[in-house]
Copies of this chain bind each other. A is one copy, B any other.
């Protein structure tokens, strides 16, 4: 029986090409890399954006602290070396997801320009779109929000090396998009990202 059914199966030598994948999925993969201060709004926007994309039958996936820090990167701490390795691995995984044809949304502080630029290069080398979204919120506004009370702890010296307080945040020099989350609603921020995807031809219908 296996032989009979097997006659239906045909394939060519070599791996699935980007064009074949695009044709099958009706979309092109891309990485949307959100970066910004703690409590700047990265996760909120990422969660809403993923939902809107999935509702529109786009293949989208979100990489964040919840599914990465406790899994793939659970053996990393917060030393300078480990922080760099954290972003490196996330960048590599985002690249794999983009290569698989998904719109991949990452929401990590990713404070250092050099680390982000390395991820950008990784995507460029593989000819995959990389859209850096600067989730820009003034420090005093982020600190007022402080939903997890982390700024407060950092100010009290209970947390060391906290981005924005005693560890630097290096804003992107040429982000594809900047979202002033002290001025925009979540819906407006999501719409801005959708507009960007549209402009880049990354929301094409199936």
Chain A contact residues, CB within 8 Å of chain B: 2-3, 5-7, 9, 11-12, 14-16, 20-21, 24-25, 47-48, 50-52, 54-55, 57-59, 61-63, 67-68, 71-72, 75, 85, 89, 92-93, 95-97, 99-102, 122, 184-185, 187-188, 190-192, 194-195
Contacts and interface: CB of A to CB of B under 8 A. Distances in A.
A12 B59 contact: no
- By secondary structure, the A interface counts as helix
Contacts of A184: 2
A174 to B, nearest CB: 22
Nearest to A187: B6
A59 B59 contact: yes
Contact of A96 (B7, B52, B72): B72
Given A61-B100, A67-B96, A72 B89 contact: yes
A59 B192 contact: no
Contacts of A85: 75
A117 B6 CA distance: 31
A65 to B, nearest CB: 12
Contacts of A97: 96-97, 100
